[in-house]
Amino acid sequence: MTSIIELHTFHTLEPARQHLVDVYADVRADLLHLPNYAVATFAERLERHATESGWVAVLGYDQGEPVGYAYANTIDADDRWWKRVTPVPPPEYTDRHAVALKEIGVRVPWRGTGAARRIHDALLAGRNEPYVTLMVNPLAGDGKVHRLYESWGYKDIGQSQPSAASPVLTAMISSVR
């Protein structure tokens, strides 16, 4: 698919909420039956994350249709994000503020077009933190998603299970610049 994705940045949830939920539901359609991936669970997480420091979302649109998104916020050394990672990440990552990439997803017809990378890069473009961290299900796409993040410069730093309903995730980190 050849298309021009128009990117929009949001610093508050309300104008982006419905499109974020709609795209999430489409991206995760095959997982929505699992409690951790249910739309209502995502909406609750989104609501909580949007109140956290440094929250920002980027939505990509193709001719007005939302096709992908990412959102993140700032975390510090005391954030529960770091406390759930084992082994404990090195202080070089946790002693300063970092960007936690909480969610990223692109609808199937736009995968492989570079849309995810453009959304990711736009999300990080104005950030001052030295590092960005994310958590990925190592089984997602039979490992393809994890390999994609590695190709973007992320490296594994540990594992995390954010909730009892969550799979064990791989914690990854990259330089913002």
pLDDT in tens, 29-49: 998 898 888 999 999 999 999
Which CATH class name applies to 6-175? alpha beta
Q: In terms of DSSP bridges, do strands 98-106 and 131-136 run parallel, antiparallel, or are they unpaired?
A: parallel
Rounded to a whole number of angstroms, the CA Rg of the chain reads 15
Hey, how many other C-beta atoms are within 10 angstroms of the C-beta on 60? Answer: 25
pLDDT in tens, 48-78: 999 999 999 999 999 999 999 999 999 999 9
